Amino acid sequence: MLHSILELIFGIVLVLFSALAFVNAIEFLGYRFELGSSFVGAILSPLFTSLPELTVFLVALLSGVRGGDEIGIGTVFGQPFMASSLSYGLVGLVVLLGYRCGKRKNPRLRVDKSLSLPYLFVTLLFPLTLIPGFFGGKFVKLAFGLFFLLSFVVYMKMMYSRRELGTMGEAEEPLLARIAGVDERWKTKLSFIQLALAVLILYYGSERLVSAVSKISYATGISPLGVALVLIPAATAMPETATALIWGYRGMDTLSLGSLVGEKILYSTFYPGLGLLFTNWVIDDHAIFSVITTTFVSLIILYFINRDEIPWQALVSGIVFFFAYAVFVFALHR
């Protein structure tokens, strides 16, 4: 068991480091080739920032480990659950702390109403991911899989139509270039090298992470889906959660919540689409718990967005679901 926990930690470190290196390289290449902030921000950014989850998802399906399908499905249901419970709860507490420390003028969050669109997508689509699990059959899975992928395309098109014009601001130079201290002509070449290395390390780290989750699952008697729903998102969602906390503390409310809801769209469209096409899509109580939590909290936030202010207590309410799930899984061994 100790070996599995150490393997889990090792995998988490590799995944986080390689993800940061990947994003650093791709942002520089986007700037260097003048792809434009609208294209990178509206289309590529959500896919790149969720690259760790995507890699873990694919490795879980292809690695052949015990419970691989369930770990992959747990990854799909895990990130929205963690964002809706623990991440939002921590943002609410940080908002209160920022207000008490004088960093914020108001303990209520003021966000742009444009955020109502992604929350509406999550609220409407994420519950539909349960239907193919209850009403099996290849045709049902295929139909819903294609529907979710099409929904992702529609959402990206809608967001792209609202894009900001103009080119990207100057990006940070690649990590390898900073270490090597090279001149301008080498920076692009090193960006591609860094990109390739990051992908290789990310794949290896994901293998270790998936292997550890499988071993921990069978050692504790908890389903692979249930373990993956907590452990994988807790590791891979760290960067965006940390960013959301910083922005919430400083009073940058739209950025704070926007950083958390952006990837939830992928888990309501793109990832379920892939999962339905390439897994058996067998769900259990853990997936249902995730959908109930995510939908409930999203409805609360959507309600307050349309009222122009979100009280910090509305976000903190999500923590109740996190501790309830922890008891459900780790205390009751469900």
Q: Where do the domains of the chain lie?
A: 2-331
Task: Report whether pLDDT(143) > 90.
Answer: yes
The span from the CA of 281 to the CA of 77, in Å, is 11
Across 160-164, 213-217, 274-278, 289-293, least confident range? 160-164
> Do residues 76 and 233 make contact, with C-beta atoms less than 8 angstroms apart?
no
pTM: 0.74
Question: What is the distance between the alpha carbons of residues 23 and 289, in angstroms, rounded to a whole number?
Answer: 32
Distance of CA 75 to the CA centre of its chain: 9
Q: Average pLDDT for residues 286-310, to the nearest whole number?
A: 88
- Top CATH class, 2-331: mainly alpha
According to the model, what pLDDT value does residue 13 have? 81
Answer yes or no: are the C-beta atoms of 174 and 26 closer than 8 Å: no
Task: Say whether pLDDT at 150 is over 80.
Answer: yes
Closest Cα partner for 111 from 272, 276, 261, 334?
261
Burial of 181 (0-12, 13-18, 19+ CB in 10 A): exposed
Q: Which residue, among 284, 289, 282, has the nearest Cα to 327 in the 3D structure?
A: 289
User: CA 231, CA 297: separation in Å to the nearest integer?
Assistant: 21
Answer whether residue 18 shows pLDDT above 90.
no
Judged on CB neighbours under 10 Å (0-12, 13-18, 19+), 100 is exposed
Instruction: Lowest mean pLDDT of 9-13, 182-186, 290-294, name the range.
Output: 182-186
What sections of 63-183 are H helices per DSSP? 68-82, 88-100, 116-125, 131-134, 138-161, 175-180
* Residue 229 confidence class, pLDDT cut points 50, 70, 90: confident
142 vs 103: which has the higher pLDDT:
142
